[in-house]
Amino acid sequence: MKADKPEARPEAAKAAAEPGRRAPRRTKEVVIRGIPVSAGIAIGIAFDTTEPPAEAPRRSIEVAAVEAERQRLAAAVQASRKQVAKLKMRLGVLPEEAQEELEPLLDAYAMMLGDSRLIRGARKRIETGLVAAETAVADEADAIAEIILSARDDDKAGLRRRAGEVREIARRLTRNLTQNPFRSFKDVPEGAILVAEEVTPADAALLDPARIAGVATEEGGADGHTAIMLRALGIPAVLGAHGLTEAARRGDQMVLDGAAGTIALHPTPATLVWAKDQVAGYARERTKLAKLRRLPAVTTDDEAVELQANMEIPAELPLIAQAGAQGIGLLRTEFLFMNREDLPDEDAHVAAYAPIVEAMAGYPVTIRVLDWGGEKDMEALAAGIEPLHASPNPALGLRGIRMLLKRPELLEAQFAAILRVAGAAPDGVVRVLLPMVTVPAEVKAAREIYERVARRLRRRGEKLPDKLPELGAMIETPGAALAADAIALEADFFAIGTNDLAMYTLAVDRGDAEVSHLYDPLHPAVLRLMQFATEAALRLRMPVSICGEMGGNPRLVPLLLGLGIRCLSMNASAIPRVKQAVRSLDIGDCARFARRVMEQSDPARIRELVDGFASGETERG
């Protein structure tokens, strides 16, 4: 974004320099749409910040220069470590929620600046590829990010966050190698809305919520660390607003709606009146949701509902605690295998799981064993086991429990670690979840390994629970749903993965723009499979939960409760609004509503009914 020249727009420039003074509105209102990231309304002047790009031209070197480049890299690593340590010292002045979000991220940064694959790989590229340190860093970061993003995983947001962490450290190293300055926020006037091409998580850590009214950027999305930080700081934000930096000028008045994802430049008097009313409304809503944290998730007729969190990486633990989750309904363990050259052993698994179980303070933790498919290019797996045959269709190939039964040493290491962690926890706190189950024999085979590992650990003198942790099955294919009554005889509980279930049922990859419009979890076929699996579990009085995106949608809670589900696992940020929905519902109304929905054959009609119930237009009772 280009700042106005003083002689061209002196009033606007003066307004930008004087906190609290508004720039004159010289043109009609313009609305720019972006991605809603952090709810809230911000009213203020635009203030742009620019930062030299963290890039450097590719450069080759002679053999004689290798040692000098290694030393340049080492100096940049040392400088970066000091900067990360300095950022960590600043945590004390941030709100508690932001501290809890940023500290694990900075710890991850510090680890990557140690003897990590990124640093080792960069050194190797300098030595064997004869390239300058900044070129080596960029190439290695790109390679690692590509591996992470190519992983087969439902949680694409988590993959993007991990890739972003690697690229952020690479940018920091490049700045230190090229002596490019970092962004400064010292001159941002109080009450201004920060406008930028991009804001990194480290940038967000430098923002003062008491001074910055809002944040609007050209790049970014709702699921990155920057977005999480802005939400934790409570700063209204809209990211991914293309065209923003061309349209807005320093000193322009703005109204930013972080819930709708809109930015109004040169707002009309009517827009300003509306915005001020909304500011008051948001304050009331935040107070209301904050009070929910300590209230139980029970319906109006006293039916208890468990609200748990899905967890991708340990850095999410603080957000899970803040949200008031009653446990972790899905702990994905792929993070242990990513960005490493060797397979994690039993002790590495224990070291990863034990702090998570301890942090949940007696709430249940469901640990899903490795869900890896043939297309997941994890270096540790490629190096640690025989290469798997490349599948022409990885989604239908050797993945999940199929792969683990082919490579039982992986399953044994995870089982052993989980059993050891369970031995140090209260009974019933830890559960084990098997991915991509399609037939009862897979659960039976996994249980035989599970019990064999338990016997071995007992002979070794390890403390284990008297009753082994429950072994559950993911229901995420039509075959598993239709065979649920048979699978239920082998499993101890079900977790319905609605994302994959909808994908496999409808033969739609929702990441494919050509067919994503066909992805519909409210399709009657998907709902009937969910109903069949749920009823199979309930007949045996077996626990069943939802751990896909449907579980975090407040509009769908009445339908899910009506189908008989009493445990929902979701992204932590969704828990307060889902709890709010639960506490407004009557189970009898939900059951009648679910029966009405299941009578329908038209997805459009189902959506009408769902929307009508959520808005109160559909009759309850």
Cα–Cα distance, 117 to 121 (Å, whole number): 6
Distances in Å between the Cα of 113 and the Cα atoms of 80, 166, 173, 235 are: 8, 10, 9, 29
Cα–Cα distance, 296 to 283 (Å, whole number): 23
Instruction: Give the phi and the psi of residue 29 in degrees, each rounded to 5.
Output: -60, 135
pLDDT digits (tens, 9 = 90+) for 46-99: 998 766 666 778 899 999 999 999 999 999 999 998 888 877 766 655 655 566
Cβ atoms of residues 609 and 601 within 8 Å: no
- Who contacts 517 (Cβ-Cβ below 8 Å, separation ≥6)? none
Cα–Cα distance, 236 to 256 (Å, whole number): 7
Cα–Cα distance, 363 to 426 (Å, whole number): 9
pLDDT digits (tens, 9 = 90+) for 374-397: 444 455 555 444 444 455 666 777
Cα–Cα distance, 490 to 243 (Å, whole number): 56
Structure tokens at 408: 């039982």
* 547 belongs to the catalytic site: yes
Q: Which one of the listed residues 225, 266, 349, 523 is annotated catalytic? A: 225
Structure tokens at 284: 């009331």
Cα–Cα distance, 147 to 535 (Å, whole number): 40
pLDDT digits (tens, 9 = 90+) for 500-542: 999 999 998 765 657 777 889 999 999 999 999 999 999 999 9
- Provide the pLDDT for residue 206: 77
Percent of the chain with pLDDT over 70: 85
Structure tokens at 603: 């997805």
Cα–Cα distance, 195 to 250 (Å, whole number): 9
**Lookup result for tokens 């065979």:** 483
Per-residue confidence band for 223, with pLDDT thresholds at 50, 70 and 90: low
- Who contacts 528 (Cβ-Cβ below 8 Å, separation ≥6)? 598
Per-residue confidence band for 13, with pLDDT thresholds at 50, 70 and 90: very low
Cα–Cα distance, 594 to 560 (Å, whole number): 8
Ranges of H-type helices in 179-268: 201-205, 225-233, 244-247
Other residues' Cβ atoms within 10 Å of the Cβ of residue 243:
12
Cα–Cα distance, 97 to 290 (Å, whole number): 12
Q: Which one of the listed residues 266, 349, 523, 547 is annotated catalytic? A: 547
H/E stretch holding 68: helix 66-89
Cα–Cα distance, 390 to 138 (Å, whole number): 28
Whether the per-residue pLDDT at 239 is higher than 80: the answer is: yes
